[in-house]
């Protein structure tokens, strides 16, 4: 798992810095079919050639000796008031515009509801985002269209030099003035230089992931209030990029009370406290003092052990042989000499660790919830399914934007394909 995010803060107080995507330690993108060199580049300081174009106009960037692919500046969605200023491949833009029903409306709280969150000073952290109402797990806290999107690794030319237009300076100058002003006012944890746009990007960037089109690298984005969330190693919220509406959704992972600070994560959460602190210090220059990092030594060691177990389980997910797993299930269903908890014991143990640690990882939860629900279904035990399936539905909504069919499992456990299978064999005996 590798949650990441970025940040900004205009407060003078020392502020935890945020996820940087242009850091040297960012994992290199895999493959490079366009022959682009994915190295961070400095912003050219003496650029004089600025294209004369209408402010909303799209600028194609032709391939030359700098690049071999067609980049474009595009403000998307084209017909909406609040746009995202994009530097992307032309075929990425075309693929986005060709999405059925693009853009879908941005999610928003009901008009009568209070503003769901407030940005206010957070002791020792500059500013932070605080709940202005109670949130249930899965509730939407924020929906924000970012200011800008660009390749997470700005490509250099085949000769190692950047294309004059593929620089943050040229890109930001192209933005409409009101957006540019916001962008340039974002917090910069990397330097105090006024024109250090790369520092702003490195401080505030958050991964969008891959976008449609031929570019197989990752894209990153810079948001506005999205960048106000502080980090916790046991976050109570998580962000998700929604391409269809070109916006980020932030949802609660746990119940959050009005007045509580809302945290997301900037680092790899399945690592030990020492490793997490090293990562956060290197990338953002702050020492994490979150709830988990502040535990007394004994509790901290227990937390490290739990996270270690979850990390090992996460690695094992990729080795899982589904056919073998199904065979084991069938064998357990029929062999009544095996205890009832035999098939799902390990998975139930992992779900218990996740709950004890309060660290909700969707991939792990869903994979092991499948095993637990399958076993409980075979035993005809609805109670053992409902809670596990509801959490799987919530985590799927937070991470994927939909429940993955888990609400149906929680509502009608009797309708699952395995309902009562083992019970049937025991009655036949």
- Choose the binding region for Zn ion from 221-229, 231-239, 250-258, 297-305 (rule: CB under 5 A): 231-239
84-89 vs 148-151, strand pairing mode? parallel
* 87 lines the binding site for Zn ion (CB under 5 A): no
Residues 289-348 that bind Zn ion (CB under 5 A): 290, 293
How many residues bind to Zn ion according to rule CB under 5 A? 4
H helices of 44-176, where? 90-97, 168-174
Would you say 233 or 353 has its CB closer to Zn ion? 233
> Which residues have C-beta within 8 Å of that of residue 420, sequence separation ≥ 6?
377, 378, 380
Binding mask 279-298 for Zn ion (x = CB under 5 A): ---------x-x--x-----
* 96 lines the binding site for Zn ion (CB under 5 A): no
Residues 149-178 that bind Zn ion (CB under 5 A): none
324, 332 in Cβ contact below 8 A? no
Closest CB 262 distance from Zn ion, rounded Å:
15
* 269 lines the binding site for Zn ion (CB under 5 A): no
Would you say 228 or 271 has its CB closer to Zn ion? 271
H helices of 32-167, where? 90-97
Give dist(CA 16, CA 232) in Å, integer: 11
Closest CB 18 distance from Zn ion, rounded Å:
14
* 421 lines the binding site for Zn ion (CB under 5 A): no
Give dist(CA 191, CA 385) in Å, integer: 52
Would you say 290 or 310 has its CB closer to Zn ion? 290
Would you say 96 or 293 has its CB closer to Zn ion? 293
Give dist(CA 408, CA 413) in Å, integer: 8
Catalogue the long-range contacts made by 84-87 (C-beta closer than 8 Å, 24 or more residues apart).
84/145, 84/146, 84/147, 84/148, 84/149, 84/221, 84/246, 85/147, 85/148, 85/149, 85/171, 85/174, 85/175, 85/176, 85/179, 86/148, 86/149, 86/150, 87/148, 87/149, 87/150, 87/151, 87/166, 87/171
Which residue is listed with tokens 């944890």? 189
Closest CB 184 distance from Zn ion, rounded Å:
30
Would you say 15 or 83 has its CB closer to Zn ion? 15
Side-chain-side CA neighbours of residue 262 (13 Å) = 36
Exposed, middle or buried: residue 196 (CB in 10 Å: 0-12, 13-18, 19+)? middle
Closest CB 288 distance from Zn ion, rounded Å:
3
Closest CB 292 distance from Zn ion, rounded Å:
5
> Which residues have C-beta within 8 Å of that of residue 151, sequence separation ≥ 6?
87, 88, 215, 217, 218, 219, 220
Would you say 4 or 34 has its CB closer to Zn ion? 4
Closest CB 341 distance from Zn ion, rounded Å:
34
* 409 lines the binding site for Zn ion (CB under 5 A): no
Would you say 94 or 279 has its CB closer to Zn ion? 279
Would you say 176 or 281 has its CB closer to Zn ion? 281
Closest CB 87 distance from Zn ion, rounded Å:
33
Closest CB 277 distance from Zn ion, rounded Å:
7
Find the binder of Zn ion among 20, 149, 233, 410 (CB under 5 A): 233
* Binding footprint of Zn ion on the chain (CB under 5 A): 233, 288, 290, 293
């Amino acid at each position: 798992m590798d949650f990441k995010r970025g940040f900004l803060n205009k407060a003078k107080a020392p502020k935890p810095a945020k996820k940087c995507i242009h850091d040297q330690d960012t994992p290199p993108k895999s493959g490079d079919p366009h022959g682009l060199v994915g190295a961070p580049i400095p912003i050219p300081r003496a650029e004089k050639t600025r294209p004369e174009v209408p402010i909303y106009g799209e600028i194609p960037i032709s391939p030359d000796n700098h690049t071999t692919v067609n980049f474009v500046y595009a403000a998307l969605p084209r017909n909406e008031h609040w746009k995202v200023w994009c530097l992307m491949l032309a075929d990425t833009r075309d693929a986005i515009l060709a999405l059925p029903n693009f853009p879908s409306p941005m999610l928003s709280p009901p008009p009568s509801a209070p503003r769901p969150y407030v940005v206010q000073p957070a002791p020792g952290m500059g500013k932070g985002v605080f709940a202005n109402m109670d949130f249930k797990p899965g509730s939407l806290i924020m929906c924000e269209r970012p200011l800008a999107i660009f390749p997470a690794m700005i490509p250099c030319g085949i000769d190692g030099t950047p294309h004059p237009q593929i620089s943050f300076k040229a890109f930001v100058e192209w933005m409409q003035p009101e957006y540019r002003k916001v962008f340039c006012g974002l917090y910069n944890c990397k330097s105090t230089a006024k024109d250090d746009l790369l520092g702003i990007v490195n401080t505030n960037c958050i991964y969008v992931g891959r976008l449609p089109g031929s570019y197989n690298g990752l894209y990153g984005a810079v948001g506005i209030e999205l960048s106000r969330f502080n980090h916790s190693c046991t976050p109570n919220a998580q962000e998700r990029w929604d391409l269809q509406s070109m916006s980020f959704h932030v949802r609660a992972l746990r119940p959050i009370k009005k007045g509580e600070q809302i945290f997301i994560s900037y680092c790899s959460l399945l690592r030990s406290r020492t490793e997490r602190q090293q990562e956060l210090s290197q990338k953002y220059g702050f020492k994490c003092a979150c709830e988990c990092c502040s535990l007394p030594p004994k509790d901290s060691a227990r937390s490290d052990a739990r996270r270690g177990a979850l990390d090992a389980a996460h690695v094992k997910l990729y080795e899982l042989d589904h056919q073998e797993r199904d065979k084991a299930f069938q064998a357990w269903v029929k062999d009544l000499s095996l205890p009832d908890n035999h098939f799902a014991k390990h998975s139930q143990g992992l779900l218990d660790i996740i709950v004890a640690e309060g660290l909700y990882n969707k991939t792990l939860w869903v994979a092991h919830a499948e095993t637990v629900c399958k076993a409980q279904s075979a035993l005809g035990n609805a109670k053992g399914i409902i809670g596990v399936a509801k959490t799987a539905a919530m985590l799927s909504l937070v991470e994927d934007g939909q429940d993955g069919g888990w609400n149906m499992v929680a509502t009608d456990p009797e309708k699952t394909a395995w309902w009562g299978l083992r019970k049937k064999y025991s009655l036949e005996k």
